[in-house]
Amino acid sequence: MSCENNIVVKSPMDGKVIDISEVRDEVFAKKLVGDGVAVKIKTGEIVSPVNGTVKLILQNKHGIGIETIEGIDILLHINTENFQDNIKHFHPVVKEGDSVKIGDDIMKIDEKILEKEELVACVVVSNMSMVKGIEKSIDGDVSKEDTIFKIVI
């Protein structure tokens, strides 16, 4: 979805939006990977926040990169305390090269991990040099239908 030189980014999950600077992972909190928002995850269903092509699935399965139709790279990265122990809880349902639309299933997370650990997903534009900026749209509780930010191109 784009309009007036903006790309709409939807929430990839039900949860609660927090400022990315509050994420425990300094790489994301300091915006070293890019700018965006973070969402405390409430359920294990993860959907595509944009229309585009899956370009990357991290080896430990807790991150997916999607390139929008406009060439903007969106990284969805789920922060977890112990990647090695928790890798078995992340189940991508897409593969690199797949086309996705907003709302398409891209990952499932076992509910077991959500019961024992608070997971936070960072949704960032990883090629910020390609955009003018982002406009955050919402704070607090979100569902998969909600716009979390707009990318100004």
Q: Are 135 and 3 in contact (CB under 8 A)?
A: no
Q: Cα(146)–Cα(148) distance, rounded to whole angstroms?
A: 6
- In the residue annotation, 62 being an active-site residue is answered as no
Kindly list the distances between the CA atom of residue 83 and the CA atoms of 40, 88, 100, in Å, as whole numbers in the listed order: 17, 9, 26
Length of the chain: 153
Q: Are 34 and 124 in contact (CB under 8 A)?
A: yes
DSSP 97: T
Q: Are 76 and 66 in contact (CB under 8 A)?
A: yes
Q: Cα(17)–Cα(40) distance, rounded to whole angstroms?
A: 6
Q: Cα(148)–Cα(16) distance, rounded to whole angstroms?
A: 10
Question: Catalytic positions, please?
Answer: 77
